[in-house]
Structure 1
Amino acid sequence: MTGYEALAEVYEWLISDAKLAPADFAASFDDVLALLPSDADVLDCSCGTGQLAVGLAARGMRVVAADASEAMVRRTAELATELGAPVRSVRADWRDLPDHFDDETFDMVFCVGNSLHHAEGASGRVAALESMSRVLRRGGRLVLTSRTWELVRSRGSRLDIGDRLVRRNGRDAVVIYRWEIAPRWEDEHHIEIAVAQVDAAGSVLVRSELLSCWPYRYDELEAELHRVGLRTETSTFSLEDENYRVVARKV
């Protein structure tokens, strides 16, 4: 998985207000975190700019943050330093996790932020899930969030333009998504994301990136989790909702 090098510098505009603060992001997983001791070993393997990892570390957990994007890892390390959070940051693709960590190292693995669709096709997705499963301890849990791709594909190729300015760190921007929906599920799809910053003088600075993705149906994900030794405990999947969360336990 590659990408997010340009968007890393403006990624805060892609995070909802409710999850921008590290403590709030971590609190959104209170129900699953309640299953862990306060000093649990936790991996966030799609860490982005580090809000979740830093929020977990603030609770006393031993946290490793990993991402395939060097820029994202750097931003996570910067946030951890700024807030005094003891987070270890590692640049690693999902497939490479077993090269960095021993088997059965972590009590919980997070793969959130709608990231799994960047794994290349079904084989890439299974390889990613297998790596996550390997580094989980027996009885440990994978927490995964996903777009509802059945819903996304039903809408076809399109342009989604934010209807309001979003303020981050005293700066305003509009977020634009351009969706390229391929004819078949198994084909490579694309999402182009642009963040158009507007300064006080009215000038506009645009940062954009074209990202590859390979969508999947929910039943495919369920089968793939089962294939790598994970059993779904809870799921919020609904064809009517934009996103869902799955918690799967390693047996």
Structure 2
Amino acid sequence: MTDYDVLAEVYEWLISDAKLPPADFAASFDDVLSLLPPNAHVLDCSCGTGQLAVGLAGRGMQVVATDASEAMVRRTAELSEEFGASVRAVRANWEELPDHFVDDTFDMVFCVGNSLHHAAGTTGRSAALESMSRLLRPGGRLVLTSRTWELVRSRGSRLDISNQLVRRNGRDAVVIYRWDIAPHWEDEHHIEIAIAQVDATGSVQVRSELLSCWPYQYEQLNADLHRVGLRTEASTFNLEAENYMLVASKE
């Protein structure tokens, strides 16, 4: 797993303006949230800095947020306190989830923010999905967002530099992605993400982190879900789109 401990401190520069307010992030999932019962129990695994978890708690849901990064869990707890939201934040990677929670606990599990590709290969991805499936109640749903890796790999190794400054907390930054695309799907790939912050004097401070990832094809993801007892219910997958959302229900 990748820790994101460096990027955790500047992660808000990677979140779009539309999803930075917790209520707005939660609202982007209105269609699936409408399927939940009142006072639903929800798990946000790979919670990042907690925008979604806090937004869900603001709707009266019983929310647990987990992440493999201690720094991300800390920032989620801080955001929860800032908004007066009741969120239980726990440091745990996917494989450790069954050690913290009883099977069949949650009505919905979120795994969003393009996080699943950090699971190490087919074995790691299957283990992650198995853990999430175990924690869902029968009929519960997994909500997953993913990069369209078919599109990412077609572009090859490259450097992507944002064409405009991003402003957060009164500071501007340029976001840079360096993609190291391996020859084969099953090989370890790398993404280096750099956030170059510019202060009022023109000085630049750069924070970067090299992240490992193991891409997967959409058909492979569906097969992995089926193996762990999840059935794809809805999907926005499009080979020409950068990202997609998939909703799978527990059989």
Relative to the length of structure 2, the TM-score reads 0.99
Counterpart of 2:215 in 1: which secondary structure? coil
In structure 2, distance between residues paired with 1:83 and 1:25: 14
Shift of 1:236: 0.4
CA displacement, residues 118-173 of structure 1 (integer Å, 9 cap, x when unaligned): 00000100000000000000000000000000000000000000111100111100
For 1:142, what is the secondary structure of its paired residue?
A: strand
Q: Secondary structure at the match of 1:90?
A: strand
Unaligned runs of 5+ in 2: none
- Aligned counterparts of 1:183 and 1:2: Cα–Cα separation in 2: 21
What residue ranges of structure 1 are gaps of 5+ in the alignment?
A: none
| Alpha-carbon separation, structure 2, partners of 1:166 and 1:224 | 37
Once the two structures are TM-superposed, the CA of residue 202 in structure 1 deviates from its matched residue by 0.4
Question: Residue in 1 aligned with 2:216?
Answer: 216
What is aligned with 2:11? Answer: 11
Q: Aligned residue for 1:157?
A: 157
**Match of residue 225 from structure 2:** 225
Cα separation, 2, equivalents of 1:3 and 1:249 = 28
Structure 2 residue identity aligned to 1:39: N
CA–CA separation in structure 1 for the residues paired with 2:37 and 2:86: 17
Identity percentage over the alignment?
Answer: 81
Structure 2 residue aligned with 1:41: 41
Cα displacement (A) at 1:187? 0.3
Residue 110 of structure 2: aligned partner: 110
2:92 corresponds to which letter in structure 1? A
Q: CA RMSD in A?
A: 0.4
Give the distance between the partners of 2:209 and 2:63, measured in 1 at CA: 29
Give the alignment of 1:1-251 within 5 angstroms: 1-251=1-251
Give the alignment's TM-score, normalised by structure 1.
Answer: 0.99
Amino acid at match of 1:67: D
3-state DSSP of counterpart to 1:63: strand
Number of aligned residue pairs? 251
Conserved 8 A contact 1:38-1:59: no
Shift of 1:2: 2.6
- Taking the aligned partners of 1:138 and 1:155, their CA distance within structure 2 comes to 40
- The offset of 1:38, in angstroms, is 3.0
Runs of 4+ residues over 2 Å off in structure 1? none
